[in-house]
Structure 1
Amino acid sequence: MSDSDVLDADLYRRTKALLEPGDIDLAGAIVHTDLSGQEDLEMHELTVELNEVIAAHAGKGEAYIHAGNDDPNFSSNQFQGRTVEDDDFVWECQQLLRNGTFDIVFYYEADLDQAALVEAIRERGYEVTSVVLDEDDRMEVEG
């Protein structure tokens, strides 16, 4: 098993922990990038782009990005998409630097069309891994 496989397995376990049953059912997407830790502007632009994609698929209207950097309830590189109209949750993400490049772990309410969302992200040229819980709360990963 390579270092990359170990890191990917750890990332999937961490993503699953974020999806486990709580007040709402969640699904997730891991967007793999080749952006380095020095490319803050590009990470911001990618997060803004993906906010628009996820908000469109969630069907909750226009969303803005709440940055965790100014909020003691968030960690660094943690963001939320919230509706402009009534400040409702749309998505949350963490930007994780792994092996010198970022992966962005998004999670959102599971009632949106997961396959359509993942395809929309892929159509924009990004590598994405879909992460959902099955009926037995086991993580299913689709490449």
Structure 2
Amino acid sequence: MSETVDADLYARTKALLEPGDIDLVGCIVHTTLGGEEDLEMHELTVATNDVIAEHAEKGEAYIEAGNDDTDFSSNQFQGRTLDDEAFVWECQQLLRDGTFDIVFYYEAGVDQEALADDLTALDGVDRVTQVP
């Protein structure tokens, strides 16, 4: 991915983290998955849900798809707790330069480095860019 596109994606992701009801941080999961690997991207999103929920200490979480709710767009997903449907994370899946980048944001307080290490270990992940 070109540095210009990467810098733009980083800046756009950081803008999503502007102060709101919840103090958010995020990361960009740069994958090795091509545009035809939708199923693998879905599996990676499910695996990422488990990793983020564990690091956020929120308990077990499920994924709510954007096409299930008119407040979201397609390829936009949320992780919510099973117990009380509390927010755990939100993401958008983007196709950039032939591979998917998945932008996640979640409540601050997560050990970003440990989370990035665990996400990088998942199949299909090239690298993880942390967004404070």
TM-score range, shorter chain: over 0.9
Residue identity opposite 1:95 in structure 2: Q
Tell me the distance in 2 between the aligned counterparts of 1:5 and 1:123: 23
The 1-side partners of 2:122 and 2:64 are apart by 23
Task: Report if the CA contact (8 A) 2:44-2:122 is conserved.
Answer: no
1:85 to 80, 83, 86: 83
**Partner of 2:129 in structure 1?**
129
Q: Report the TM-score, using the length of structure 1 for normalisation.
A: 0.86
SS in 1 for 2:84: coil
1:89-100 correspondence runs (5 A)? 89-100=87-98
Shift of 1:115: 1.6
Partner of 2:25: 27
Residue 62 of structure 2 corresponds to 64
Which amino acid is 2:90 matched to? E
Q: Note if 1:116 corresponds to 2:114.
A: yes
Q: CA deviation at 1:114?
A: 1.4
Matches within 5 A, 1:95-106: 95-106=93-104
Count, aligned residues: 130
Q: CA deviation at 1:70?
A: 2.1
Q: Note the 1:33-44 alignment, pairs <5 A.
A: 33-44=31-42
- Write the letter of the residue equivalent to 1:129: T
Structure 1 stretches of 4+ with a deviation exceeding 3 A read none
Q: What does residue 138 of structure 1 align with?
A: none
Residue 47 of structure 1 deviates from its aligned partner by 0.3
SS class of match (1:117): helix
Question: What is the root-mean-square deviation in Å for CA atoms of aligned residues?
Answer: 1.2
Q: AA paired with 1:114?
A: Q
Q: Distance in 2 between matches of 1:67 and 1:76?
A: 8
Q: Give the equivalent residue in structure 2 for 1:6.
A: 4
The answer (yes or no) to whether the contact 2:55–2:115 under 8 Å persists in 1 is yes
Bigger RCO of structures 1 and 2 (CA < 8 A, at least 6 apart): 2
Amino acid in structure 1 at the alignment position of 2:23: D
Q: Deviations over 1:68-104 (max 9, x none)?
A: 0221111110000000000000000000111111100
Identical columns (%): 71
Q: TM-score, normalised by structure 2?
A: 0.93
Give 1:20 shift.
1.0
